[in-house]
Structure 1
Amino acid sequence: MDRTQVINFGPGPSALPDSVLEESAKALLNFQGTGIGISEISHRSKEFGAVVKRLEQLIRTQLDVPPTHHILFIQGGGTQQFSSFVLNMLARYRLLHPNIPDEEHVMDYVVTGSWSKKAAEEARRLGGAHVNIVVDAREHSSDGKSFTGIPPHEAFKFSADPALIYYCENETVHGVQFAQEDRTPSSFPFHLLARDAPGGGAIPPLVADYSSSFMSRKIPRLADHAVIFAGAQKNIGPSGVTIVIVREDCLVDVDAAAKMGAAPVPKMLAYKTYSDSGSLYNTPPTFAIYVAMLVLERMENVGGLKVVEETNRRKQEKLYGVLKESEGKNLIRFNVKDGSRSWMNVVFRGKDEELEKQFLASGEAQGFKSMKGHRSVGGIRVSIYNAITEEQVDKLVSFIKEFNEKIAA
């Protein structure tokens, strides 16, 4: 098939805008008239230094990142951050509380899907603190073992003084996402944390995994977070670079903390290493950073994050709307309860495996690629990241309506 005949609904690496791919293809041969390709140019050159600064400025402006937070570009993906933020936050906690023994250090984890589950498992593996599961969404599902939504706020049990509180804003595999509107039933319960509680006080260090929803809509209470991280390969670029937004007080001297008893932190996992070097301590993923810059420049040109968010809202409303019609005809069932469903990863099951096979095969014939559900949960998953246009979603909606009529005939 030709590219124009295909719509890539893959969960990541995901679709990129054609205009960005065309521009980056030119830059692979000759970047900004240098005669050198973007993948060949020195990361120490002034031309590439300008790319890094431009990408940082685009993120800061469109997300309203305050000056209290640094923006870093790191390799290793979101999974590496499961180790990095633990080591950095425990080092910070040791510096702040030198006399509290390790066995009294606590890290809070909100488990709402497979990625937050893996993050908690990595924290336990690293040791150095007790891992407190604030809430496990499986315990609030009908079968007691599936991730089907955000648990009720009263189920969240935060520790009194954790070294960090981790949550995953959007679970790519299961299609579970926190609601954006504050204090709604499926939102993250910021109001249960110290600043909103009687007597006030500082919010404990919040660590948020935004890997599959970054730059798709605004981040609620961004300034209250200590760390926000996201792999680029969903909404803003190819795989290879991870964006990490770190509050200044979390850029700690990990060597000083180690001398006080904290676990040693490899230099390439320490956030301060990247902050001090402008993300250029070693050779970064130059091509991935450049493409991310092009994607965010394009976003700026079409009206910025506000316009992108409005488009994403319409896309998911259209897709969920037609799927609810399918549900009403007993052709599909949703994995996730209403109110907790992801904008980015629409996950559902057919009434049986045969219907799922027919749906996927028919969709493939129409050029709809990568709609098969994750191997751990099966079913169907349609990822509608930023690069998927509203017109492409409309084509999928029309296909689903026609499929419903064919099955019902």
Structure 2
Amino acid sequence: MSAASRVINFGAGPSALPDSVLQEATKGLLNFENTGIGIAEISHRSPEFTSYLAGVEALIRQQLGVPSTHSIFFTQGGGTGQFSAVVLNLLARHRLLYPDLRDEERGLDYVLTGSWSKAAHTEGLRLGGGQVNIVVDGRLHSKDAKSFDNIPPHASFKFSPNPALIYYCENETVHGVQFNHAPESIDSEGKSVEGTFPFHLLPQGQLAPLVGDYSSSFMSRPIPRLADHAVIYAGAQKNIGPAGLTILIVRNDCIVDVDAAAKLGAQPIPITLSYKTLADGKSVYNTPPVLAIYISGLVLKRNSELGGVKYYERVNKKKAEKVYEVVREGEEKGVFRGHVQEGSRSWMNIVFVVLGDGKEKAFLQGAEEKGMTGLKGHRSVGGIRISLYNAITEEQTDKLVAYIREFLESQ
């Protein structure tokens, strides 16, 4: 199949990758870095691959402005694996910091804004062993009092005074809810910037154990207050690579001796989930997802040439605005019904319902006839979901918008 015959993939993940990157990757499959060995065959401890891995780390550090206080790791397991790893590692840290606390006094804080933060909270309940606190539940602030359709107001956030972990999901792919990425959560007059994560409300006088799940927005725009996070993690399969790779940015004080913590009563941690294992082994303690790292490196190099996250911030904003505008037109005509409240809408995943019997099926069929796929909503909520990850171009977005207007005119 030629590049010209490829469909436009608006799927939520694994998602589209740039054609130029895929073409370059085929060369590496046969001969990586002039070794005469393909990237899928080469040793993960070879000097050629470890040098490449260091280069991928440098590209992330440079483009996101990751400070020296934080380390970058590459591993498997996706965001779901990190639901477990962050709990175990940060509970071990908490045990070392506060060895005399009882288990029931070691709290975990979760901000619930959609399906993925709800799943992370469920895992926290399984592994936490102490108090698992819901900081805020977006469903209580929704239009129907039961759906995830908003980022709750800052006044509703209630953090624990000394939790082991504070978790939030920056972008919820299923429900299309995303935090505002304004650089500060309060303005120059001291007023809350609603829709942002309320950094100003975090427990004071300590290095906050803040965990940001950035799986579906990583490298799509700058990360506010990155240095204030204990852990940021992301599955690669949305914006920068194929499935199988998870990228971690971990503050150095969170890389702790988990065996020493276990001797004090902490839950033992499987060796490949330990951040110290990743640090000591420089991400190659065991075989990492070599091919996924290679392709992600090609994407990151291309990103750098285009202008990095600032470039994508501009482009992704324009793409989202174009799609939301045509969805609004559909709402005014009574053909569409949007889901997310104003001010909480995702740039990455735009969700809505096509009203009327058989209309959703007709919408999806018409899009496929024009070479556009992956538009069906998540099985848990239905409807339509348009994912506008980095590899989706403005031109491709314009084609989708034109099709949607054509569909509206036919109704």
Partner amino acid, structure 1, of 2:9: N
Aligned twin of 1:242: 246
Aligned twin of 1:91: 92
In the alignment, is the contact (CA less than 8 A) between 1:193 and 1:203 conserved in 2? no
Where in structure 2 are the equivalents of 1:10-409 lying within 5 Å? 10-181=11-182, 182-183=184-185, 184-195=193-204, 201-407=205-411
Identical aligned residues as a percent: 63
Q: CA RMSD in A?
A: 1.1
> Does the residue aligned with 1:80 lie in a helix, a strand or coil?
helix
> Does the residue aligned with 1:115 lie in a helix, a strand or coil?
helix
- Of residues 175-184 and 251-260 in structure 1, the stretch that sits farther from structure 2 once superposed is 175-184
Aligned-residue offset at 1:2: 5.9
- Of residues 126-135 and 114-123 in structure 1, the stretch that sits farther from structure 2 once superposed is 126-135
Distance 2:266 2:56 in 1: 34
Aligned twin of 2:189: none
Distance 1:311 1:377 in 2: 28
1:341-392 deviations in Å (ceiling 9; x for gaps): 1000011111234221111110011111010000000000010100000100
Aligned-residue offset at 1:263: 0.4
Gaps of 5+ in 2: 186-192
Gaps of 5+ in 1: 196-200
Aligned-residue offset at 1:326: 1.1
> Does the residue aligned with 2:166 lie in a helix, a strand or coil?
strand
In the alignment, is the contact (CA less than 8 A) between 1:75 and 1:285 conserved in 2? yes
CA 176–300 in structure 1, closer or farther in 2 if over 3 Å, else same: same
Aligned twin of 1:198: none
In the alignment, is the contact (CA less than 8 A) between 1:65 and 1:223 conserved in 2? yes
In the alignment, is the contact (CA less than 8 A) between 2:167 and 2:211 conserved in 1? yes
Distance 1:358 1:235 in 2: 29
Distance 1:346 1:54 in 2: 33
Distance 1:4 1:137 in 2: 43
Distance 2:154 2:299 in 1: 36
In the alignment, is the contact (CA less than 8 A) between 2:162 and 2:203 conserved in 1? no
TM-score (norm 1): 0.97
Aligned-residue offset at 1:138: 0.8
TM-score (norm 2): 0.96
> Does the residue aligned with 1:133 lie in a helix, a strand or coil?
strand
Which aligned runs of 4 or more in structure 1 are off by greater than 4 angstroms? Answer: none
